[in-house]
Amino acid sequence: MTKHKLFARALALVLCLTLVCGLTGCVFSTPESVGRIGEVDITSGNYLLAQYDAYQQAADLAQEDQDPTKVSAFLRQQITPEGGEPVTVADFVAEKTQQNLDRYAAIETRFAQLGGELTELEQTQAEAYAQQLMDQYGPVYEANGIGLATLEQFEKLLLKEQVLLDLVYGPEGETPISDEELGGYLSQEMVQLAYVVIPLYNSQNFAPASDDEKAEMKKKAQAIVDQYTAQTAALTQAQAAPSITEAEMKQIPRQQLEAFRTAAAAGLGEVYQVLGSPAPEGDPVSTALLGHASVDATFTEGDSAKQLYDLAFGQAAVLEHSGFAMMIALRLNPLTYQGMDAVRTQALTDYKAAELRQELADYGAALPHDLDSSAMKKLPAKKIVTG
């Protein structure tokens, strides 16, 4: 799960942020707050993180003849957002900074409205994450006026956004998604996968496989799939039988996975031997529940993503994984393999996270804004240093 979404990128990228004052040795001072959005106080730390994330979004849109490391010059130039009109970087950064702050205020406000509370474990995790960042990057944070309390606040904020999915869409939520609806999405739009990734190069000297060697490896990998298919023919028929009980249905994915492991363990040695590589030790099979974005990122070659979605539950296939690997994949029924309660959070995230994010953005933008322009001027984007 991609568990920290809002400002996660900002928290990672801010590690390389320093200000001109820090470089020149002068004292770096910031206002304690830049105002409020709704009832939420916007600290200088909130503002700096939001602004730096906005600058990085602008940097991602830079053309080859533009240099985002030259901050003052880049801010005066123009970029073109996807599907939008050309805009100066300074205006883009100002707009995105405000949007980031709006979402932040919305999360805090909606979390409180819906009676959300972080568990002691979640609070401890947030504090531990913040302390790890401070231990590793403390001088950088301190040079930018960002202390441990600010890091803890943001780590907790990111957890609150995830909890909001359940507070809004969960079984007891504000607008609950039924198990039937979520189960349909899970079965049709997500993939419960058992898989083995096989590198298309010698694991000892990294010599790439030739086209003939790739064809031979694929042939031997297909033999694993054929062996698995033969072993599970009865299971495949059973799961389609109208008389199958719920208890029997729940056992089938486990039996299919065990048969897949057995076939892989028996045949992988021959696949690796084509390149003279030793087969991996231990259980070679991994499992994952993937949404469309993860599938598209995982399979970068040919029609493999479509082929994966076309697999029936319990069906296996050899797929192109990338230019450097192939995959033997088995698609399992996620509802019977793990059960709804075990996958609800991940399924809700895949199904509704983007919608919730937009709702929060709209909600935050509609809140009363009482921001101090003079305070924000003390934290100008032109003082950002990219590294």
Identify the pLDDT of residue 387.
Answer: 56
Identify the pLDDT of residue 32.
Answer: 87
362-374 b/e with 16+ CB inside 10 Å = b?
A: ebbbebebeeeee
- In the numeric block, which tokens belong to residue 27? 């004292």
CA distance 323 to 337: 31
Q: Are strands 40-43 and 33-37 parallel, antiparallel or unpaired?
A: antiparallel
CA distance 81 to 311: 37
Q: What are phi and psi of 314, to 5 degrees?
A: 90, 0
Q: Are strands 286-290 and 316-322 parallel, antiparallel or unpaired?
A: unpaired
Identify the pLDDT of residue 137.
Answer: 79
Identify the pLDDT of residue 144.
Answer: 63
CA distance 215 to 103: 51
Identify the pLDDT of residue 134.
Answer: 86
Identify the pLDDT of residue 146.
Answer: 72
Q: What are phi and psi of 38, to 5 degrees?
A: 65, -125
Report the candidate in 268, 266, 238 with the shortest Cα–Cα distance to residue 253: 238
Q: How far apart are the first and last CA of the chain?
A: 30
Identify the pLDDT of residue 29.
Answer: 56
Helix (H) or strand (E) holding 305: helix 304-310
Cβ within 8 Å of residue 144, ≥6 positions away: 14, 17, 18, 19, 22, 28, 48
Cβ within 8 Å of residue 315, ≥6 positions away: 229, 236, 330, 331
Cβ within 8 Å of residue 149, ≥6 positions away: none
Mean pLDDT score across all residues of the chain: 88
Sign for the pseudo-dihedral over CA of 267, 268, 272, 273:
negative
CA distance 168 to 352: 10
Report the candidate in 296, 93, 264, 266 with the shortest Cα–Cα distance to residue 190: 296
Say which DSSP state 116 is in. -
Identify the pLDDT of residue 309.
Answer: 92
Helix (H) or strand (E) holding 111: helix 89-113
Q: Across-strand partners of 41?
A: 36
CA distance 123 to 264: 42
Contact 330, 195 (CB under 8 A): yes
Q: What is the pLDDT of residues 123-165, one digit of tens each?
A: 999 999 999 988 997 777 776 667 888 889 989 999 999 999 9
Q: What is the largest CA-CA distance in the chain?
A: 78
Q: What is the pLDDT of residues 54-99, one digit of tens each?
A: 888 999 999 999 999 898 999 999 999 989 999 999 999 999 999 9
Q: Which positions of the chain have pLDDT values less than 70?
A: 1-30, 143-145, 301, 387
Work out the angle at residue 26's Cα, subtended by the Cα atoms of residues 23 and 32, and round it to the nearest 5 degrees. 100
User: Residue with structure tokens 């359940």?
Assistant: 166
- State whether residue 55 is helix, strand or coil: helix
Identify the pLDDT of residue 297.
Answer: 85
Instruction: Return the percent helix, strand and coil in the chain, to nearest 5.
Output: 60, 15, 30
- State whether residue 339 is helix, strand or coil: coil
Q: What are phi and psi of 18, to 5 degrees?
A: -135, 155
Report the candidate in 228, 242, 190, 212 with the shortest Cα–Cα distance to residue 315: 228
User: Residue with structure tokens 């780590």?
Assistant: 155
Identify the pLDDT of residue 30.
Answer: 63
Q: What are phi and psi of 328, to 5 degrees?
A: -100, 115
Contact 185, 278 (CB under 8 A): no
